[in-house]
Structure 1
């Protein structure tokens, strides 16, 4: 599975030139859908999900019609079991290398200062498999900041790593031994103290749904979904780097790197989200066509779209709803598309000039695991 379909999204379109109309200077609002507008379905649909218990409720790109993803349409992933938790008996411990260990109930956490953040969460395996293309969603998360709680506990001088343990657990085989382990991820103390990090109990104005981590989860804006630990039960400060199954043995990106003509295999733990975009849908209203998509993972400067092998054209970003850690919705009018099959590819460009890599870029082509699949996404569509 580690080499599965690394290049399944390579551009396959014809070289036919297509007239593209784009007016960046004028306002463009992708939502709501206009009356009489129809979605032209993609030809390349995801294959059947072989793990419906572990991966639930993926985003259907053609259904994207709002900046915020509704709770019932938000993707959910479980690596171990999906625990059922009674909030009346639930509590969370903060311990390890701290001066004052804490034990907090949900009521204790709700009584603390409330903070919101709009954050687009993406699984780092999204677009890494032909059946997994909807592991992303944008929500308004609410909870209490993590940093003041760590400050109250008083991290000791030796403490450098903060580990987040979930209630979900499983037996994990390590060599010849099976060990019962809770899901766990960690980050450095400096990263954990980011004021944007929340102990989250609310999603889009409602209690956190069970599939998304009820009663409490970590929300770490700017990080891949794997770092946003669900069903929290313990936070522990340690004096060494934490090397769990989800940090050092799985969710590890393996990539070939060229060092003066010598191939070196680099292994890095999945952490912060990477720059990415994707076409969401093609719409038609009468004889007018448009392409709508999203871009995320870094501060976005612009998005460009290529139809078949035509030159890249600038899309227009919808600025009607924005937030620092949320995706940006973009659109591009498509004038007079010729009948037949076409390919649509998007690439995002960050404010620092970084360009979303093509599928033949060494960053993607020399990657031998499916994590951090941020290569350019190409979709196929047929115009009648």
Structure 2
């Protein structure tokens, strides 16, 4: 079991707020709902609220229920293309092949025997959007750096592309010009360039929040690219193939991309870019009341660049500074923030947030993103509407 005490356990266990500091949870940063706090009603949700399990192999997070920096493993969002493959952990082997000096077949025990590392990393699906933003979560992962495995295999000088295949697979139609579509079986695959694969960032995870990965999260092993969207974080990782040529698989070059206009030399150029690092984004998760006081809780998704500021605006009022929750300091953790909303009046209101990082990137408005013609990477500012009783 995980040695970390969760906020849920603190609240349910009846620990006095005055003692939270001793457990590492500053009272002013507590994102769990306190006793006596009432959830305000959002008016922008579909009838019936958030469908947490639309199909047996998919999960969504109800962000109104966030009660701490880490998302419980059984609430983590998950989505995939080919369902859940059945993998026997006792016979599982991670194969490393291609342009390496020593091809490898590593068991789960082999991987667990390597020097381990922990990584707090939150990410979202590139198709995640408001108002629900239910395809986002945050966790503490345990595993081994990808570079450790690649160094054991010995990467050859000609190697330029590192392809990661999951055990999940299905039939796909490949279209080539005017020829009839060709149906072939394909695995889910993504790739990294040499400089990225051999950097200190990529991570092979086998535990989430102190427990072995569930089948929803890619048991027994998944690739993690800190600061990136979910698509590159290949679940049920079964093969790493090292090659010289660029990998052009469906989920690398076709399915996950953005079409966006950009002015170049006074002319609009339409550019297609790959889905990799997360675009800076914030969203409102809930609004609560305790007596006549109201508190806004929100979430920031980001690529690891430090946050300079987070602001909240109510109705047509001015932007006001919000407070980052000190419980989410890790570089790649999602960031929680709170805003004390004073003087809220009964009736319907709108609440919106915007975030700025230390590189000067500001979360864009919907109008600024009108030049983006595809629906992935949805990071526009979005107002939430709610009723104050």
CA distance in 1, matches of 2:295, 2:118: 33
Confirm or deny that 1:183 pairs with 2:155: no
CA distance in 1, matches of 2:53, 2:376: 17
1:224 aligns with 2:226: no
Structure 1 partner of 2:41: 41
SS at match of 1:281: strand
Equivalence for 1:208 = 213
1:227 aligns to what SS in structure 2? Answer: coil
CA drift of 1:116 comes to 0.5
Say whether the 8 Å CA contact 1:165–1:232 is kept in structure 2. yes
1:329 counterpart residue number: 336
> Could you tell me which of 100, 103, 122 is aligned with 1:101?
103
Secondary structure (helix, strand or coil) at the match of 1:377 reads: coil
1:92-135 Cα deviation digits (max 9, x unpaired): 1001111111110111111111110000021111107x7x6211
Q: Cα distance, 1:51 vs. partner?
A: 9.5
Residue 53 (structure 1) aligned with residue 55 (structure 2)? yes
Aligned to 1:8: none
Check 1:332–1:49 CA distance in 2 against 1; reply closer, same or farther (3 A cut): closer
Measured in 2, the distance between the counterparts of 1:30 and 1:368 equals: 39
Classify the secondary structure of the residue corresponding to 1:148.
helix
CA contact (8 A) 1:27 1:318 kept: no
Q: For each residue in 1:316-351, what CA deviation from the matched residue of structure 2 results, as whole angstroms up to 9, or x when unmatched?
A: 111134211001111111111122111111111101
Alignment root-mean-square deviation, CA: 1.9
Equivalent position of 2:178 in the other structure: none
Structure 1 distance, partners of 2:306, 2:199, is: 18
Name which structure has the greater RCO, CA cutoff 8 Å, separation 6+.
Answer: 1
Match for residue 320 of structure 1?
A: 327
Which residues in structure 2 correspond to 1:1-384 (within 5 Å)?
28-46=28-46, 52-53=54-55, 56-127=58-129, 133-175=133-175, 176-297=181-302, 298-361=305-368, 364-384=369-389
TM-score, length-normalised on structure 1? 0.88
Task: Note closer, same or farther for the CA distance 1:50–1:265 as it changes in structure 2 (3 Å cut).
Answer: farther
Match of 2:22 in 1: none
The alignment partner of 2:151 has SS state of helix
TM-score where L is the length of structure 2: 0.87
CA 1:358–1:229: 2 relative to 1, 3 Å: same
Q: Secondary structure at the match of 2:42?
A: coil
Match of 2:21 in 1: none
Q: Distance in 2 between matches of 1:241 and 1:27?
A: 51
How far apart, in 1, do the equivalents of 2:182 and 2:56 lie? 24
Task: Give yes or no for contact 2:123–2:301 (8 Å, CA) kept in 1.
Answer: no
| Conserved? CA contact 1:100–1:154, under 8 Å | yes
- SS across alignment from 1:77: coil
1:263 CA drift (Å): 2.4
- Alignment partner of 1:265: what SS? strand
Asked whether the 8 Å contact 1:81–1:170 carries over to 2, the reply is no
- Per-residue deviation, 1:260: 3.5
The 10-residue stretch of structure 1 (202-211 or 350-359) with the greater mean CA deviation from structure 2: 350-359
> For residues 224 and 288 of structure 1, what CA distance do their matches in structure 2 show?
36
**1:13 alignment counterpart:** none
Residue 41 of structure 1: CA displacement?
2.5
Q: Which runs of 5+ in 1 are unaligned?
A: 1-25
| Most deviating of 343-352 and 28-37 | 28-37
The 3 A distance-change label for structure 1 pair 224 and 54 is: farther
Task: Point out where structure 2 has 5 or more consecutive residues left out of the alignment.
Answer: 1-25, 176-180
Equivalent residues of 2:328, 2:334 under 8 A apart? no
C-alpha displacement of 1:27:
8.0
Aligned CA distance change for structure 1 residues 104 and 82 (closer, same or farther; 3 Å): same
CA offsets, 1:357-380, max 9 Å, x none? 11111xx21111111111112211
Q: Distance in 1 between matches of 2:115 and 2:244?
A: 29
Contact kept in structure 1, 2:57 and 2:83, CA below 8 Å? no
How far did 1:241 drift?
Answer: 1.7
- State the alpha-carbon separation in 2 of the partners of residues 30 and 41 from structure 1: 21
Q: Secondary structure at the match of 1:76?
A: coil
